[in-house]
Structure 1
Amino acid sequence: MSSQDTVPADFMGSKSRPRRFLLSTALLSAITVVALVAWLYVFRHGPQNSPSPSSAFTLSDLEKGNVTAKPDTDATATAGSNSNSSLPATALMPASEPAVSSAPVVKLRQGTYIGATIPSSDSYPKAIEAFRGIPFAETTAGESRFRLPVPIGPSDGTFEAVALGQSCPGSNATNATGEVTIEGEDCLNLNVYRPRGARPADRRLPVVVYVHGGGFNGGVGTERNMASFVSWAKEPIIAVNFNYRVGALGFLPSAVTAREGLLNLGLKDQQLLFAWVRDNVAAFGGDADNITLMGLSAGAHSIGHHLMYYSRSSTPAPFAKAILESGATTARSVLYPTHPRHLKQFREFLIAAGIAGVPEQDVFPTLRKLPVGTITRASRAIWDRYNATVCWPFQPVIDGPNSLSNSSHAIGRPGDDGGAIPASVIPDLPVESWREGNHLRIPVLTGFNTNEGTMFVPQHAGSNEDFRKFFTTLIPGLRTQDLEALEALYPDPVTNPSSPYKTVLKGMGRQWARLDAAYSHFAYICPVLQTAHFLSTADDATGRPSSSTVFSKSSHHPSPDGGVTEERSASPGAGRAPVYVYRYAATGTWGTANHGDEAPVVAHDMGVVAPRRGGPRPGIRNIADAMHGAWVNFIVSRDGDPNPTTTTVRWAPFESPLAAPGSGPGQSHVMVFGEGNDEREPPEFRSRPGPRRPGTAARPETLSAAEVERCRFWWERIELSEGVGR
């Protein structure tokens, strides 16, 4: 379905913006009635009666144990499928015509927006004012497809901001509230949530901006219930979530894309949004000097890239702190756009889109003329082809001058960096940016879940050969001695009686737990700890690590420039960025703490914390109180301290134990949330008999020697999955 065939969720327009209709009072009233009826129906009957899309990256899939991605269909409507959703946003009360004056209103340069109120309830202890579907960029349809985002123009019109805006094509995502959204190319929109009446004159409110996950191939800003996050906060805050382009439309690596200067468009969407928040949040009562970015998975990977980018930017970073959940700039792989994997996937995408024979110079003009459904189906087909091996297509890539990126042609919005959105967002290998100190030194809260790999690795792998094949496919540069070291670090449960990976669920292969552990370290845990390491050891003057000596090149493999090993000493410095590291341990599907399981707990989403069905979860409630409270404290505090004023369990800043051998261990403080809790385990996946266990809400731990050893293994081989393919 083309963008012309879809009906936008917001009807806007003025003489300066002909693509949107200015809302007359009558039209506003009609739309309000329709929206209210729809919300009340879902609120009464529950999202389980709404259509349910497939997604490889949704909470509902994790809860159900369904992690198989399916191809897109022609349908563009998506809805939430989490039967435990508390549906707070379905209780939105749009203002009817006589009550418009009492609805929340905000005046921006781009127009006046009329929002709605979410009344207080068991799910929402405080009423929330919501402004939804506000555009921050023009449509990306037609000739604007595969282009840099263009900021929204000025308007003196008045617009409704009650319904969610379009989600980006191919997002195939679940909204935390269960509401239906329409996919379309006019999708660069945002939502703002603030406590009702909380606009104190004496101070501006702290702001958090949520960056969604989805492997850069899916996802939507409303995947996390940020209205709940705001409502449960003891201190008043403002939250923003938004969409960015995903899949081939947002991340299409190739030599052709590089020469056109069109790499990493989804990251550039994010940067435009950050600038929008900085410039507009004061109108909502927010503090532009106290903005925190928060992201999960691909959202956290993205934030990691922005930590690097804004250290080089000619304008100050539009955020002051960052929360990275299960993600990092060095996670998985960051390749050049000319890596053979990306080039092969690009060719396969063109074949799937039916334009394989088009001359190179006509590729993007032709793609701009295709129905958007053709592009999303081709994008999903390539995703499905590579999903099982985790060699994912359509990822961020190095886009600096040496990647063929036409960095001299920076075109886009005026303002930042000499008048344009820069062509280069990831100019260098992320690990080199860490080593050279090219990163912001700001407070960061980051962490991981115990079993990050369960939903990604092959479930039926049964032999050591299967174990080897998975990693040699993912990282072809691994040598025989690397594989032998890998096998020693993660003992084979089939042949080694002392292997810690012997216990697996019925129906799972005997290598599943072993693969989970190894992939968790490679893709999530060790990259997260790498972020914590470099930020906590950065010298105040140089930004380089100051903990004695650290490896700046692999001692096991040639680096991309031909070097083998280089060690660098840096003098100790003060003013290191405070970093707080967590581990989420409460078990759910498969009796494990899976990727993304912490998301609704952090949001204090009562659909998961206290569901209507399945029995009480007092332990999860305690964990949610602890995690949500710490996250809010971090956001509110200008120095990023997650600790409350009084506490019996103090969360200490991380000190890295991962400097070079012999330099002495640091105090690797990690806060563990939910150890021993099994209240979210489905009956078929109960890991322990007997009554449900609440576990421990929060307790500190330090990294084990085994954890440090495993991360050293992966770090010493990082050049095998970064900066390859130029």
Structure 2
Amino acid sequence: MYAKDREASPHFSSGSGGSRSGRSATVELLLQQQHRTRTSSHGGGGGLGMGIKQRPLVRPNHRSYSYGHSRGGFFRNRLSLWISGLAVLVLVWIYLKVYGHGYGYSLKNSYSGAGLGTSRPGQQGTKISLGDLPAFILPPVTTTTLVRMTKPTASPGKATGKGSGVKATAPAVELKQGIYIGATNLKAPRFKKSVEAFRGIPYAQTTGGQNRFRPPQPLEPSKETFQATRYGEFCPINDGVVYIGQGENCLNLNVYRPAGLIKGKDGKGQDGNELKLPVVVYIHGGGFNAGKGIERNMASFVAWAEHDIVAVNFNYRVGALGFLPSDITAREGILNLGLRDQQALLEWVQDNIGAFGGDKDNVTIMGLSAGAHSIGHHIMHYANSPRPPPFHKAILESGATTARAVFYPTHPRHLIQFREFLTAINAAHIPESEIFPHLRTLPLKTIVAGSKAVWDKYVDSVTWPFQPVIDGPNPYSNSSHANHTLPDIIPDLPISSWQNSHHLKIPIITGYNTNEGTIFIPPDASTNSEFRSFFKTLIPTLKDADLDKLEELYPDPVTNPTLSPYVSVPNGKGAQWNRLDTAYSHYAYICPVLQSAHFMSLSGISNVYVYRYAATGVFGAANHGDEAPVVAHDMEFLGYGNERPGLVRTADEMISFWSGFVASKGGDVNAARGRRVQWPRFESPMKREGWWKDLGKGRVMVFGEGNNERDRSVPPQERKQGYPVKVESLTRLEREACEFWWGRVGLSEGLGRGEEGGRAKL
């Protein structure tokens, strides 16, 4: 979430709201903002954001509104609504005339989209047609979902972009599943170069009806022609309501490429030769309970990349519909459906990206938070798969396969949450053999409401439901898996896969933000007992000796203020806030990230790079997901004038490294940078048997150190640009903290015991 959105919201105060804690309200707000429809430079159509939450599918009863005590009052109020709407359209027209954003419509949007451990990029406006405007702008509709694709009424035509004076021809592509007509986003202040966008292209069948709680089903061939100018449906998220634009026909993608390189519908260049551009696929975050593909502005990423590339983002199932672990689910062979959706998309890219001018042999997957966790699982999966991996490099931002918890489906936490879900949807009485046939008959709103009921119970403790699980047969899961033909997605404990070298050996960029924990920790915790209680609830098998060691690593600012570096906290936060942020950041994000880099570097991969994002925003911190719009070089966030010059310089450096990594087949981030600052390869300072006190190792790139241009609590005259890029070594605390957390990874995997066998605690 952007700082401006956070600061404008009472959810970010330290106090409680009603019966819910301040932290719960914070995460709830983040979840809600995942599904605000928005325009963005990477696709336009889907929606406008504008800080307005989408309406539920259930239409309000107009009689319940107070239009006045008389019929005259009713009509006066209706007239005022129409006048207000007309005024909005006039302002939109003036905005478009001023900024000259190509041949469609563009609206600036204040959306910030994070979710529960996901990114918070603010997406900007782009060229869309009037038909792409969302439901809260258009007259009421009678359908329950937005139209995803329609047949064009005419052949692709030309449209003139007034801001650039350039004529754009609607791009087209021919696939086995049909012909798709896209749109062109013309060069403008927000785009360094024009970008062609294809939106809402399906990569699998609907997940509704009898396909619910089943693996993604392939599409049938087609010769039809479709408009790919507006977004498809987004997958329902865990917010208790199905919003307009959401539905189960949500497995669709968006493709972005530089304009003017492709001549026809077959992906060949202007000279008639086959074009093979590097490809990057973005996997969204959201804690596996929220999110959608357009959370990252991939059109902007393409427009500002130093190399010509093709980018893809997409939706996958989240919440109970995508991740519903239990012993029954395991026997049905339908665990980790959201990860299977991702793999179906990656296979679709292999089969189809050539038609867009992409190189299927040079694919990078990129993800933030849950997207990065997912990538970690795919790195393990394809090392154990007979199929060749559908990607060749990876960028993992604030995530890893060992991050947070990855249990067996029969871990008591998952079994209890599954039963609570059945109770919430009034299905606890259904015989086990009939549970999933019954769930496929229920209204979608019932599933979503039940998911939210379970989520609410666990959000504050960060012991979230509906997560990926280890789906390989094992002696400890106490479940007999069905004889299904689908390969296991997570075949073993992630730490065991690392230790046994059962992972792909590929180039990676991975990294973390300085303050990963701020949006997850209890905001009001003030005592040492609350500090210990938080981690004991999060990891029940921590022993008292472990908690004592935690206190030693992170000194108490209340009882030991002279030695503790955690005394200073933002206004309204509890005395333990800074301490909890540091400890949780190490546990959930920083140390898992460094563990991935450690094992990759020891496996002989030379192009392993680690970063830290340090530019501060709300709370005076570099929060989880804050780097997202900077990586994308999103000018709606960075500002067209001189609003945030330091962040613009930081964005220049980040997209240079990121796009250089995507473009290089070998994943060399420095290949095309000339004399600019070079990013050192990561060499682990830790041998397999323990820490190696070599300070020349463990070097990371730091982006935005000292920049506070996002922090609105700082007066404008005191805001600093900081350093766009510099190199540092891991700190002593990071080394010692990761030594502690790495030694206890097993407490958050399998049955949560550290060594498998016996009975797990909840």
Query: TM-score when scaled to structure 2?
Result: 0.77
Equivalent position SS for 1:270: helix
In structure 1, give the amino acid aligned to 2:391: F
State the Cα distance separating 1:100 from its structure 2 match.
Answer: 3.4
Taking the aligned partners of 2:400 and 2:172, their CA distance within structure 1 comes to: 37
Which of 445, 459, 476 is 1:373 aligned to?
A: 445
In structure 1, give the amino acid aligned to 2:680: A
Alignment gaps of 5+ in structure 2: 1-44, 47-88, 97-104, 133-151, 159-168, 263-268, 758-762
Answering whether residue 715 of structure 2 is matched by residue 667 of structure 1, we say: no
Which of 550, 558, 565 is 1:500 aligned to?
A: 565
In structure 2, give the amino acid aligned to 1:87: G
Which is worse superposed, 197-206 or 215-224? 197-206
Taking the aligned partners of 1:91 and 1:646, their CA distance within structure 2 comes to: 42
Matches within 5 A, 1:497-646: 497-538=562-603, 575-610=604-639, 616-643=643-670, 644-646=672-674
State the Cα distance separating 1:578 from its structure 2 match.
Answer: 2.0
State the Cα distance separating 1:524 from its structure 2 match.
Answer: 0.1
Cα RMSD of the aligned pairs, angstroms, is 2.7
Which of 124, 136, 144 is 1:86 aligned to?
A: 124
Kindly indicate whether the alpha-carbon contact (under 8 Å) linking 2:117 and 2:370 is maintained by their aligned counterparts in 1: no
Which of 541, 545, 554 is 1:477 aligned to?
A: 541
Counterpart of 1:277 in structure 2 is: 349
Taking the aligned partners of 1:106 and 1:284, their CA distance within structure 2 comes to: 7
Answering whether residue 174 of structure 2 is matched by residue 100 of structure 1, we say: no
CA separation of 1:704 and 1:91: change in aligned 2, threshold 3 A: farther
Answering whether residue 684 of structure 2 is matched by residue 656 of structure 1, we say: yes
Counterpart of 2:232 in structure 1 is: 165
Equivalent position SS for 2:686: coil
In structure 2, give the amino acid aligned to 1:481: A
Kindly indicate whether the alpha-carbon contact (under 8 Å) linking 2:524 and 2:577 is maintained by their aligned counterparts in 1: yes
Which is worse superposed, 515-524 or 494-503? 494-503
Counterpart of 1:446 in structure 2 is: 510
State the Cα distance separating 1:410 from its structure 2 match.
Answer: 3.5
Which of 265, 268, 276 is 2:337 aligned to?
A: 265
Taking the aligned partners of 1:58 and 1:525, their CA distance within structure 2 comes to: 15
Kindly indicate whether the alpha-carbon contact (under 8 Å) linking 1:139 and 1:187 is maintained by their aligned counterparts in 2: yes
Query: TM-score when scaled to structure 1?
Result: 0.80
State the Cα distance separating 1:354 from its structure 2 match.
Answer: 1.4
Kindly indicate whether the alpha-carbon contact (under 8 Å) linking 1:148 and 1:268 is maintained by their aligned counterparts in 2: yes
CA deviation vs aligned residue, 1:442-465 (integer Å, no higher than 9, x gap): 000000000000000000000001
Kindly indicate whether the alpha-carbon contact (under 8 Å) linking 1:582 and 1:672 is maintained by their aligned counterparts in 2: yes
Answering whether residue 349 of structure 2 is matched by residue 286 of structure 1, we say: no
Counterpart of 1:184 in structure 2 is: 247
State the Cα distance separating 1:648 from its structure 2 match.
Answer: 3.4
Equivalent position SS for 2:495: helix
State the Cα distance separating 1:509 from its structure 2 match.
Answer: 0.2
Counterpart of 2:257 in structure 1 is: 194
Counterpart of 1:431 in structure 2 is: 495
CA separation of 1:376 and 1:42: change in aligned 2, threshold 3 A: farther
CA separation of 1:48 and 1:354: change in aligned 2, threshold 3 A: farther
State the Cα distance separating 1:642 from its structure 2 match.
Answer: 1.3
In structure 2, give the amino acid aligned to 1:153: E
Kindly indicate whether the alpha-carbon contact (under 8 Å) linking 2:203 and 2:253 is maintained by their aligned counterparts in 1: yes
State the Cα distance separating 1:103 from its structure 2 match.
Answer: 1.4
Kindly indicate whether the alpha-carbon contact (under 8 Å) linking 1:454 and 1:594 is maintained by their aligned counterparts in 2: yes
In structure 1, give the amino acid aligned to 2:296: R
Kindly indicate whether the alpha-carbon contact (under 8 Å) linking 1:651 and 1:671 is maintained by their aligned counterparts in 2: yes
Counterpart of 1:677 in structure 2 is: 707
Taking the aligned partners of 2:312 and 2:611, their CA distance within structure 1 comes to: 24
In structure 2, give the amino acid aligned to 1:715: W
Equivalent position SS for 1:401: coil
Equivalent position SS for 1:645: coil
Kindly indicate whether the alpha-carbon contact (under 8 Å) linking 1:126 and 1:195 is maintained by their aligned counterparts in 2: yes
Which of 424, 432, 456 is 1:352 aligned to?
A: 424
Taking the aligned partners of 2:106 and 2:194, their CA distance within structure 1 comes to: 21
Matches within 5 A, 1:8-407: 56=116, 85-90=123-128, 97=154, 99-100=156-157, 102-170=169-237, 182-199=245-262, 200=269, 201=273, 203-402=275-474, 403=477
CA separation of 1:99 and 1:113: change in aligned 2, threshold 3 A: closer
How many residues are paired up? 613
Taking the aligned partners of 1:216 and 1:140, their CA distance within structure 2 comes to: 17
CA separation of 1:407 and 1:104: change in aligned 2, threshold 3 A: farther
Equivalent position SS for 2:718: coil
Which of 510, 513, 524 is 1:460 aligned to?
A: 524
In structure 2, give the amino acid aligned to 1:488: E
Taking the aligned partners of 2:413 and 2:236, their CA distance within structure 1 comes to: 24
CA separation of 1:657 and 1:166: change in aligned 2, threshold 3 A: same
In structure 2, give the amino acid aligned to 1:676: G
Equivalent position SS for 1:88: coil
